[in-house]
């Protein structure tokens, strides 16, 4: 496995692979890798000739009061993990190389970015879209891999690729969870012991929603209220949102008919966790 540290080297490699008609898979990450990231990488390795994993804590997707500086980083550990699942290249550029003086572009998407995390993190998806376009232009991938863990991000990237006719297939990968059901996340390291034990209510509350949905309940208000009530059994949980949205547009639905996503964001002290479950057809 090779480490690529500069935009220039990555652009040259991407062009070379494209010229040779190589099937390239990209796995964009912010590093501090866990089994969730590695599930994406394994899927990429199984379906491409060459896999590039990017490891880049993208400053322009963080708000001014968010955890950019504290975000956990471990490039050496990440390299060993990436290599163990067969990744060919890790691309880990410096922020100043990705955003040199004079950089001025952000990407404005309507509808899909307006709910959920888009509402509570202004500018977040503009920054995500910009970095993903940059990564795709540098790597020129055939396939790109994103986790359902960040369900709105996956919907945003699908919309972006379709709207801008990007020649890349967007592949979604199911959520990887801890044994007790907590979705794996680099941010789980922020949780103290009390928060960690109470955070199991997130996945439990999604299961509450699934049981109601499977039993025929279609009143979004009742489903959301039951989810919220379950989360609130944890004294340290502060609900930011619980929403039932269309799986493609991320717009709130009152009565689910096509596939929907029950999505939540909850704070445990200073740590903000997100999780979701898909309900309905294609389930």
Under the binding rule (CB under 6 A), the answer on residue 183 touching ligand AMP is yes
What distance lies between CA 93 and its chain's CA centroid?
19
Quote the least distance from Cβ 178 to ligand AMP, whole Å: 9
User: Can you tell me which of 4, 82, 112, 176 binds ligand AMP, judged by CB under 6 A?
Assistant: 176
For 73, the token pair is: 């980083």
Quote the least distance from Cβ 101 to ligand AMP, whole Å: 26
Strand-pair category, 143-147 with 89-91: unpaired
Segment 114 to 153, residues that bind ligand AMP, using CB under 6 A? 146-147, 149-150
Helices (H) and strands (E) in the chain, counts: 10, 9
Under the binding rule (CB under 6 A), the answer on residue 276 touching ligand AMP is no
Q: Rounded to 5 degrees, what are φ and ψ at 87? A: -65, 140
- Is-catalytic flag, 37? yes
Paired with 3 in beta bridges are 90
Cβ nearer to ligand AMP, comparing 89 with 223: 89
Paired with 53 in beta bridges are 27, 90
Residue number with the smallest Cβ distance to ligand AMP: 147
Cβ nearer to ligand AMP, comparing 27 with 223: 27
Q: What is the dihedral of CA 30, 141, 137, 76, to 10 degrees?
A: 30
Query: Interface mask (CB under 6 A) for ligand AMP, residues 14-53, using x and -?
Result: ---------------xx-----xx-xx-------------
User: Can you tell me which of 156, 160, 175, 278 binds ligand AMP, judged by CB under 6 A?
Assistant: 175
Please list, in sequence order, all residues whose beta carbon lies within 8 angstroms of the beta carbon of residue 195, skipping any fewer than 6 positions away. 236, 268, 269, 271
Residue with tokens 């689910």: 256
Quote the least distance from Cβ 269 to ligand AMP, whole Å: 20
Paired with 246 in beta bridges are 260
Dist CA 241 CA 224 (whole Å): 10
Cβ nearer to ligand AMP, comparing 220 with 243: 243
Give residues in contact with ligand AMP (CB under 6 A).
29-30, 36-37, 39-40, 146-147, 149-150, 173, 175-176, 183-186
The catalytic residue positions are 37
């Amino acid at each position: 496995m090779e480490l690529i540290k500069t935009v220039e080297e990555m652009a040259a490699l991407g062009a070379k692979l494209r010229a040779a008609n190589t099937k390239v898979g990209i796995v964009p990450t912010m590093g501090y890798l866990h089994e969730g990231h590695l599930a994406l990488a394994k899927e990429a390795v199984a379906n491409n000739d060459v896999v590039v994993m990017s490891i880049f804590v993208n400053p322009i997707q963080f708000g001014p009061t968010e955890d950019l500086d504290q975000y956990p980083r471990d490039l050496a550990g990440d390299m060993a993990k990436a290599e163990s699942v067969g990744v060919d290249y890790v691309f880990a550029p410096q922020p100043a190389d990705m955003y040199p003086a004079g950089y001025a572009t952000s990407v404005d998407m309507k509808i899909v970015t307006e709910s959920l995390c888009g509402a509570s993190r202004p500018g977040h998806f503009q920054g995500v879209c910009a970095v993903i376009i940059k990564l795709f232009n540098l790597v020129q991938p055939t396939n790109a891999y994103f986790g359902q863990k960040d369900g709105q991000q996956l919907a945003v990237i699908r919309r972006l690729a379709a709207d801008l006719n990007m020649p890349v297939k967007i592949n979604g990968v199911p959520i990887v969870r801890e044994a007790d059901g907590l979705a794996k996340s680099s941010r789980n390291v922020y949780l103290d012991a009390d928060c960690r034990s109470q955070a199991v209510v997130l996945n439990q509350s999604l299961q509450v929603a699934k049981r109601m949905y499977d039993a025929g309940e279609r009143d979004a208000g009742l489903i959301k209220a039951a989810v919220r009530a379950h989360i609130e059994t944890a004294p340290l949980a502060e609900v930011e949102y619980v929403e039932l949205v269309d799986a493609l547009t991320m717009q709130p639905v009152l009565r689910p008919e096509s596939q929907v996503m029950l999505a939540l964001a909850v704070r445990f002290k200073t740590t903000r966790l997100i999780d979701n479950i898909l309900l309905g057809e294609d389930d």
